[in-house]
């Protein structure tokens, strides 16, 4: 469905690709030449050194890792639960649990770097208890895991951390968080989502364009072929390739920018960090992936109110917890209408719904400086405030109860004395 926005279509992107490629190539060489001339006399050996450094940065990859210290508190076949909590955290505090995107990449995007981390932003805002799911690569043993298994896992998580949680879901983790909040409203005390596809047919989405093309015969047979080729898994390499096809010139553009800045060590370091994460494809359970494609993206059953999970229809109106929604104007994967549709589907009071639409792309909603310093900081600060107010109210209630008990004991003692 088109809501009147003017996002660039996939056909337009591919038609414009030759011009974009030429522009990127010219800019890369112009930037490189300018930097080389500014550094003094230029020799063939310097050029060879730069080319060698560029080739290494462009091709050598390492596995992305977590930035913030943590412990592993529980493991399932498909994921781990990581604990980032502060040493002085109040054990009675309702914790934040991050559900990272499960889209063929590592979960570390929520803790990308020391200054680009949702985890650290939460801790810095005063949240004491912080946890995150860390999805594991699918194997022959876990290829048949389904959404029901993930919901059961979240039941275990809630039990592990005390019976109630604040869920934070990014992208694919967002719709899972929404499903869980609808199925277990008593356990989810707030829901914060960034770039989550809730109404997958809304807006102009590059993902929806490809889905329409690949399901033109009315089924998801093309996706089944992909999973069959992965022996029952959706290969992370295929998912990474799919993301690259959404922006056909972006990888070449990044390589040209790298060449133009190859003499800038900080730029090369940033390039390595991002590419290590982006290029590290992580396999997904094929059964789960096909369920997502068919029921969430092809049939759009979540917003339609016809989605069944664990034998129960998922009713988004069951959600009445505080709701925080962050969308990106330049998000070609999950355009704002897909994300913001949740606000009209829940029962949360209007005063407890907050939305932001940032000048950002998809990944910028999770690890961009603006998103972290503004909406995410506001969200986590608000949750920390709610905890302090709740703790103060509990303390006051306890003091009142203690005073009443003391008064009752005194009255009883006086009565006993009078009887004597």
Which range, of 66-70, 276-280, 391-395, averages the lowest pLDDT?
391-395
**What is the 3-state secondary structure of 323-381?**
EEEEEECCCCCCCHHHHHHHHHCCCCCHHHEEEEEECCCCCHHHHCHHHHHHHHHHHHH
Average pLDDT over residues 18-38: 90
- What is the model's pLDDT at position 400? 62
What pairing do the DSSP bridges indicate for beta strands 116-117 and 130-135? unpaired
Of 62-71, 160-169, 400-409, the one with minimum mean pLDDT is 400-409
401 vs 265, more confident: 265
Q: Does 281 have pLDDT greater than 50?
A: yes
> And the tokens for 398?
């306890």
**Number of H-type helices and E-type strands within the chain:** 17, 14
pLDDT at residue 211 greater than cutoff 80: yes
Q: Hey, what are 208's tokens?
A: 């929806």
* Least confidently predicted of 73-77, 189-193, 240-244: 240-244
Mean pLDDT of 216-245: 90
Residues with Cβ within 8 Å of 61's Cβ and at least 6 positions away in sequence, in order, are: 275, 276, 279, 280
3-state helix, strand, coil in the chain (%, to 5): 55, 15, 35
Predicted local confidence at residue 1, as pLDDT = 39
Q: Which residues of 237-261 are buried (b: 16+ CB within 10 A; e: fewer)?
A: ebbbebbeebbbbeebbbbbbbbbb
Give the pLDDT mean for 47-59. 93
pLDDT at 405 over 90: no
Boundaries of every domain in the chain: 71-203+309-389
Please provide the size of the chain in residues: 420
CATH code at 71-203+309-389: 3.40.50.1820
Q: What is the pLDDT of residues 289-338, one digit of tens each?
A: 999 999 999 999 999 999 999 999 999 999 999 999 999 999 989 999 99
Per-residue pLDDT, averaged over 128-142, amounts to 97
pLDDT of 366 > 80? The answer is: yes
Q: Label residue 2 by pLDDT band (50, 70, 90).
A: very low
Q: Give yes or no for a contact between 358 and 328, defined as CB atoms under 8 angstroms apart.
A: yes
């Amino acid at each position: 469905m088109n809501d009147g926005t003017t996002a660039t279509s996939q056909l337009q992107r591919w038609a414009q690709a030759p011009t974009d490629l030429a522009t990127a190539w010219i800019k890369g060489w112009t930037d490189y030449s300018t930097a080389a001339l500014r550094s003094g006399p230029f020799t063939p050996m310097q050029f060879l050194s730069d080319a060698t450094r560029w080739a290494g940065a462009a091709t050598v990859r390492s596995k992305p890792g977590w930035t913030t210290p943590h412990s592993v508190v529980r493991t399932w076949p498909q994921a781990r639960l990581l604990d980032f909590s502060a040493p002085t955290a109040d054990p009675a505090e309702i914790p934040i649990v991050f559900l990272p995107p499960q889209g063929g990449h590592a979960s570390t995007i929520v803790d990308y770097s020391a200054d680009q981390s949702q985890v650290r932003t939460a801790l810095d805002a005063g949240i004491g208890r912080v946890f995150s799911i860390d999805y594991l690569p699918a194997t022959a043993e876990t290829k048949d895991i389904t959404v029901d298994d993930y919901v059961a896992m979240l039941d275990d998580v809630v039990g592990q951390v005390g019976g109630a949680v604040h869920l934070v879901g990014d992208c694919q983790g967002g719709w899972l968080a929404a499903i869980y909040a609808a199925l277990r409203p008593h356990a989810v005390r707030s829901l914060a989502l960034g770039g989550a596809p809730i109404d997958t047919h809304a807006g102009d989405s590059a993902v929806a364009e490809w889905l329409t093309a690949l399901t033109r015969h009315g089924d998801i047979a093309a996706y089944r072929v992909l999973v069959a080729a992965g022996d029952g898994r959706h290969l992370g390499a295929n998912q990474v390739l799919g993301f690259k096809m959404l922006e056909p010139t972006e990888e070449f553009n990044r390589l040209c920018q790298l060449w133009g800045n190859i003499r800038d060590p900080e730029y090369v370091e940033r390039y390595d960090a991002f590419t290590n994460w982006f290029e590290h494809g992580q396999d997904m359970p094929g059964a789960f992936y096909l369920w997502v494609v068919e029921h969430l993206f092809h049939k759009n059953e979540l917003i339609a109110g016809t989605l069944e999970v664990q034998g129960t229809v998922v009713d988004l109106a069951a959600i009445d917890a505080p709701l925080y929604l962050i969308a990106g104007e330049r998000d070609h994967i999950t355009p704002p209408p897909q994300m913001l549709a949740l606000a009209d589907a829940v029962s949360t009071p209007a005063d407890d719904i907050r939305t932001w639409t940032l000048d950002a792309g998809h990944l910028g909603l999770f690890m961009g400086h603006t998103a972290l310093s503004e909406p995410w900081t506001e969200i986590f600060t608000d949750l920390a405030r709610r905890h302090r107010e709740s703790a103060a109210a509990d303390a006051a209630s306890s003091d009142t109860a203690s005073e009443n008990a003391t008064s009752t004991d005194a009255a009883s003692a006086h009565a006993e004395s009078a009887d004597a």
